[in-house]
Structure 1
Amino acid sequence: MKFLSKNAIKLLLGLLTAITIFHICILLKIIPYDIAWGGRLQNDQEMYVFESISILVNLFLIWILLMRGNLVKFKFSNRIVNIILWIFFVIFILNTIGNVFAKTNFEKFFALVTGLFAFLLFRILKKT
């Protein structure tokens, strides 16, 4: 059982790293920002704010997952880590619903990604 949880953590870490790189590419204007955030960003200033927040949130989740997988020395208590992961689980469920109603097909595709994130978080949390 623990094997499945460890694999879910590793897969989620890889996916989050890829998503973080994607958001960095938007921030650097390598990828146009009109395909992200449901096509609702109006200008560069909004993009910088939203992408910066997104990158920070993704890095925070990566850090929490590293704690959950015992891959870092500094750790919050297991209870705190699990509470944070449950919060992210709910956020990903809500984000999946939001992505289904996005303006762009590209963003709608991310409903699959956020749904997978929610599923993997559930697998990780179910093993507690």
Structure 2
Amino acid sequence: MKSLITERLAINGLLLILSLFVLLHLLILFGIIPFEMVWGGRIKNQEEMVRLELVSIVANLLMLAIVAVRAGLLRIRLSYTFMRVVFWLMSGLFLLNTVGNILSTNDFERFVFTPVTIILTMLCLRLAISSEQKATA
């Protein structure tokens, strides 16, 4: 996998996709995009949507911050072991999200977001198995 996906590609891909996810969830939160296309099409009301979208935005911003630290864009000291553990956890999260997308009642989520979460899983795995302490974006 290391020869197929470079660290630079993994970092830049994660920064791009996670940023787009934050934008997507903001657009959903503000009602520009219908909330039926996320969360497996199972959101029941506006209050539930707001709560879940805020969780999504915070989670994606935290993951973006971790990737930015790994890229050297944020000057925060985190141990290399901690970072690897976080990337393993992110890989697991995206893998579970892939399963959720496959089981979604929304065709758009199933056919568009499933491949995206598979890509996110692979990019996080690449950084989790990295032997380098720091990469540049």
- Using the TM superposition, give the Cα deviation of residue 39 of structure 1 relative to its aligned residue in structure 2, in angstroms: 0.4
For 1:91, the equivalent position in structure 2 comes to: 93
> What is the one-letter code of the residue matched to 1:87?
L
- The one of 95, 119, 122 aligned to 1:119: 122
Quote how far apart the aligned CAs of 1:98 are: 1.3
Of structures 1 and 2, the one with the larger relative CO (CA 8 A, separation 6+) is: 2
TM norm structure 2: 0.88
Aligned AA (2:123): L
Residue 66 (structure 1) aligned to one of 62, 65, 68 = 68
Structure 1 stretch displaced more, 81-90 or 56-65: 81-90
2:102 corresponds to = 100
- State the AA in 2 paired with 1:117: L
Identity of aligned residues (%): 33
Deviation string for 1:43-91 (max 9, x for gaps)? 0000000000000000000000011122211121111111111111011
**Residue 54 of structure 2 aligns to which amino acid in structure 1?**
S
Which structure 1 segments of 5+ residues have no match?
Answer: none
Q: Distance in 2 between matches of 1:52 and 1:7?
A: 28
Q: Alignment length, in residue pairs?
A: 128
Pick the structure with more helix per residue.
1
| Counterparts of residues 21-36 of structure 1 (less than 5 Å) | 21-36=23-38
Are the equivalent residues in 1 in contact too, given 2:28–2:34 (CA < 8 A)?
Answer: yes
Match of 1:75 in 2: 77
CA-based RMSD: 1.5
SS in 2 for 1:71: coil
Q: Which runs of 5+ in 2 are unaligned?
A: 132-137
Cross-structure match for 2:42: 40
AA matched with 1:112: P
TM-superposed deviation, 1:126: 2.1
Amino acid across the alignment from 1:42: K
